[in-house]
Amino acid sequence: MTALIRVFVVLALTTLPSMAYAQSLRRAPSLVLKDIQGRTLRLDDYRGKVVLLNFWATWCPPCRAEIPELVRWQREYKELGLQVIGITYPPQKLSTVRRFARKFKVNYPLALGTKTTKSFFDAGETLPITVVIDKEGNVREVIQGILFAEEFDQKIKPLLR
């Protein structure tokens, strides 16, 4: 009888943490936005990829500092299933965002966001914010501030495997 109890306890201790982790994940909302070319961008179309939703603004110094790394990661990890999507916040003039994209050679989709768009993931005013969405469409992480290379290596690279 005690052996049976031990087996039950061991099973409970090994499965409960993974069950709790699975329950802590939440499905990303089905966002539909317009990109800076006027095309419809649907977050659901990127299922099967690891998506970095990056909320940023052209006037934000930390955002501007982060953009070259996002461009590099998109180029280097695209074939492994990475998709960066930039979402402006607060809403900015389309012409300003287009000029910025050309100047910084942004190689990923940029969409015009709103406060409501950002509030699906974070209610604060911090910029930049990067939302990490796994291949199954679950929000894994919301990173406030610049996404540094060390964080990318620890939190995003493992999802690309």
Q: Decide if 73 is inside a domain.
A: yes
Q: What is the CATH number of the domain that holds 96?
A: 3.40.30.10
Q: Is residue 19 part of a domain?
A: no
Peptide bond before residue 128 is cis, with ω within 30 degrees of 0:
yes
**Number of structural domains the chain divides into:** 1
Residue 136 inside a domain? The answer is yes
d(CA 52, CA 35): 16
94 within 8 A of 36, measured Cβ to Cβ: yes
| Beta-carbon contacts of residue 16 (< 8 Å; ≥ 6 apart) | none
Q: Residue 25 is encoded by which pair of tokens?
A: 């994940």
Nearest Cα to 132, choosing from 109, 104, 152? Answer: 152
How do residues 141-160 score in pLDDT, each as one tens digit?
Answer: 999 999 999 999 999 999 99
**pLDDT tens, per residue, the chain with 161 residues:** 444 334 333 333 333 333 333 446 899 999 999 999 999 999 999 999 999 999 999 999 999 999 999 999 999 999 999 999 999 987 789 999 999 999 999 999 999 998 889 989 988 889 999 999 999 999 999 999 999 999 999 999 999 98
**pTM of this structure:** 0.83
Q: List C-alpha distances in Å: 15 to 10, 21, 27.
A: 9, 10, 22
Query: Residue 57: inside a domain, yes or no?
Result: yes
Ordered alpha helix ranges (H), the chain: 2-24, 61-77, 94-103, 115-119, 149-151
pLDDT single digits (tens) 15-26: 333 333 344 689
Contact between 117 and 8 (Cβ < 8 Å):
no
Element at 140 (helix H, strand E): strand 138-144
- Domain membership of residue 147 (yes or no) is yes
112 falls within a domain: yes
**Domain assignment present for 3:** no
The three-point CA angle 147-110-34 to 5° equals: 135
Residue 118 lies in domain: 28-160
Domain membership flag for residue 37: yes
